[in-house]
Amino acid sequence: MAENVQYAGRLGLESRNAATLPAAVSAVVDTLEDFGHPADAIEARAENTVRLQCDNYLVTVRLRRVPLRRSSKLTGGMLQPVSLLEVALSPLHEDHCDQEIAELLLAEMLRRTLPVVDATSVEWLKSNVALTCDQFLGVFEPQQAGPVLAEREAAASRPVQPPRTRPRGRACFKPVEQTATALEAHCERAFQAAVNRSAGPGANAAATQARARMRKTVQAGPQGGGWGGPLQASALSASILAPRRRLRFVSHLLLVAALFLFLDSAGMVQAARPLFP
């Protein structure tokens, strides 16, 4: 029989009478039977102590006087009790005893004993702090879930959505049949915007003024300067034309320049110089 480990709780009583101990023993016996540990033997060790033995536990119920030096502190303006009712639970098989189950069984014994005795305080295990009866009984009441717990429960009840998978390879692009129409419309809008900018109300006037300035510059230049004057005029006119006309003019200018270089390399330009005034 192992008595080294013991779980004990005490109830502070307002009065001491002969009916207190039998009422407490009856509540303890009912608790053991309801939790599957019926009492096999009940032994009265003295007029103030009763010992009950079941399959796994040895329970001692003792009514004692309050010692002069108490280790427990009274809180909340509680009065000093007249006597103490102690309920101690000792496992018979210490190696096969679960501490939490033993403590829960002891707590249930104290809870059922409270209504049948005039208790004013509860001392739980070795806490050295006396609790009021309402504080002790409040542990057994169901607590309302806090906002954090309620949010977690709501999140757990929501359907789990599968994570989105990022497309890879050809899956990143839509089929040509879906994008061709949108691409053609976008290009058409870009071309139309370019045409509108080039054909604006001030575009023709600006081009006319630029060509007039170019002619004045060419006419004011030295006469008989050879091929440099026409080429310079052509380059200036190419820089002030509209974008689409400028591209066409540059292509023609490149062809003329290539032909001129070919004739110059063949010596035909030098031979034809006396023919021009």
Domain ranges of the chain: 7-137, 199-275
pLDDT of residue 224: 47
pLDDT of residue 150: 64
CA 197 centroid distance within chain? 52
Tokens of 138: 């409040």
* Spatial contact of 240 and 210, defined as CB atoms under 8 Å apart: yes
Three-state SS letters, the chain: CCCCCCEEEEEEECCCCCCHHHHHHHHHHHHHHHCCCCCCEEEEEECCEEEEECCCEEEEEEEEECCCCCCCECCCCCCCCCEEEEEEEEECCHHHCCHHHHHHHHHHHHHHHHHHCCEEEEEECCCCEEEEHHHHHCCCCCCCCCHHHHHHHHHHHCCCCCCCCCCCHHHHCCCHHHHHHHHHHHHHHHHHHHHHHHCCCCHHHHHHHHHHHHHHHHHHCCCCCCCHHHHHHHHHHHHHCCHHHHHHHHHHHHHHHHHHHHHHHCCHHHHHHHHCC
- Summarised one tens digit per residue, pLDDT across range 112-155 is 999 999 899 999 998 888 899 999 999 888 765 556 666 777 77
The CATH architecture assigned to 7-137 reads 2-Layer Sandwich (3.30)
| Higher-confidence position of 247 and 121 | 121
Backbone torsions φ then ψ of 11, nearest 5 degrees: -115, 130
Cβ-proximal residues to 51 (8 Å cutoff; 6+ apart), any chain? 42, 43, 44, 45, 58, 59, 60, 61
| Encoded amino acid at 41, one letter | A
What does the angle CA 232 – CA 238 – CA 240 come to, to the nearest 5 degrees?
Answer: 110
* Spatial contact of 269 and 263, defined as CB atoms under 8 Å apart: yes
- Torsion angle (degrees, nearest 10) of CA 98, 101, 106, 110: 170
pLDDT at 203 over 60: no
* Spatial contact of 12 and 87, defined as CB atoms under 8 Å apart: no
CB neighbours (10 Å) of residue 139?
Answer: 11
- Summarised one tens digit per residue, pLDDT across range 36-60 is 999 999 999 888 999 999 999 999 9
pLDDT of residue 177: 72
| Higher-confidence position of 204 and 126 | 126
Mean pLDDT for the chain overall: 77
For the full predicted model, state whether its pTM sits above 0.75: no
| Encoded amino acid at 269, one letter | V
Beta bridge partners of 117: none
Q: How far apart are CA 140 and CA 112, in angstroms?
A: 12
pLDDT of residue 128: 81
| Encoded amino acid at 17, one letter | N
